[in-house]
Copies of this chain bind each other. A is one copy, B any other.
Amino acid sequence: MAMVTIKDVARKAGVSVGTASQALRGSASVRDTTRRRVLQVAQRLRYQPSALARGLVTRRTHTVGLLISDIANPFFIRAVRAIEDLAQENGYTVILCNTDEDPAKEAQYLRVLMEKRVDGIVLATTAEALSIIRDIRRRRVPLVLFDRELPGVAADTVKVDGEMGGRLATEYLLSLGHRRIAIIHGPLVRSTGRERLRGYLRALEAAGMRPVQEYIREGNFKQDSGRDHTRRLLDLAAPPTALFCTNNLMTVGALQALHERGVRIPGDLSLVGYDDMEWWTLTHPPLTTVGQPVYDLGREAMRLLLLQMGAERRGRPQRMVLKPELIIRSSCAPPTGSFPRRAGGRGSLSRRERARG
């Protein structure tokens, strides 16, 4: 109940508080017999040092803050896992914060983390809580921007090349012969939203095609928007023959809408998703996606943070851009030209079905 303090340990061991402290933390300037005595007493009393008191004087808490938009998004999970792994290996503990893409929550959490005097922060920012972030920089609290860039703020950044991801997917669809390619992209305020769209546009341009306004839809990176936009795309007079969804949740939404309308993949429509998840080999059909090295993303972010936290003086901010890759499974095929009238027939079967037929 009443916590046992180092004072109790010192008294019972017949030694001053100073010595007890040294003994407990293994300083060389304490006699061996003394150290043993102290350690033994500490153990007997089940002494648990107070990290609060220690942090107060050492100015280190061995705690880092991690702010992401939503831990329930499978994309972030592996990154969180990587960050936690690396933190643990280095004696750090992680405070987890879901911002839900809400700038107010983000600012609020950042404030709390500052008050708790965390040693560093990994942040997937909404890009709309600038003032407090500037404050963090001013106070020289180690900070790594994760997954998303923040123009105007000089800080270590780890991200995946979104433009390349957009290009990869679009070029692939073009190479299959598609000309009516729709995209559901993310919010333009996020660098991820902007970049993937840019990649799509660049690829079209390189192919000498001009973008069609009604094939370009801004989603919000959540499942519903994937479903809604897909429905609307299908309702078009000239629906697309291929669809590119730029994050995992919107891809799930799109799949739902396609299933619900009985659209055959890739027979009627080719689909490229984003973010690889192992269960996407189990969907019907197995999905072709742009895969991001998520675990590495988290790992690198934490590595950079550890570097910052360890360094006396800070160097110039690093910027690290990882490469996505196209993972080809069976959700894409050349356009048949017969959609939206149902053509049926062999051409509309996925690889798996064909193997069985």
Contacts and interface: CB of A to CB of B under 8 A. Distances in A.
Contact of A282 (B93, B94, B255, B355): B255
A259 interface: yes
B93 A95 contact: yes
A57 to B, nearest CB: 9
A1 interface: yes
A97 interface: yes
Contacts of A282: 252, 255-256, 259, 283-284
A177 interface: no
Given A252-B282, A283-B283, A284-B283, A71 B95 contact: no
Interface string A334-354: 000000000000000000110
Contact of A56 (B52, B93, B135, B281): B52
B61 A71 contact: no
A139 B52 contact: no
A122 interface: no
B84 A71 contact: yes
5 contacts: A52-B53, A88-B98, A93-B112, A256-B281, A282-B283
A96 B98 contact: no
A81 interface: yes
A202 B105 CA distance: 49
A11 interface: no
A72 B81 contact: yes
Given A71-B80, A71-B84, A282-B283, 7 more contacts: A51-B112, A72-B77, A93-B97, A93-B112, A93-B116, A95-B95, A284-B352
Number of copies: 2
Interface in A83-111: 84-85, 88, 93-98, 105, 111
Interface string A37-66: 000000000101111110110000101000
Pairs of residues from A and B, 8 with the lowest C-beta to C-beta distance, nearest first? A284-B284, A96-B96, A51-B115, A51-B116, A72-B81, A282-B283, A52-B55, A52-B56
Contacts of A84: 71, 96-98
A63 B94 CA distance: 12
A1 B137 CA distance: 10
A114 B284 contact: no
A347 to B, nearest CB: 14
A94 B96 contact: yes
Contacts of A279: 252, 279, 283
A329 interface: no
Interface in A278-320: 278-279, 281-285
Given A71-B77, A85-B98, A117 B50 contact: yes
A66 to B, nearest CB: 8
Given A135-B46, A252-B282, A52 B117 contact: yes
Contacts of A77: 71-72, 74, 77
Nearest to A77: B72
Contacts of A52: 52-53, 55-56, 61, 116-117
Interface string A117-135: 1000000000000000001
A78 interface: yes
Contacts of A255: 282
B56 A111 contact: no
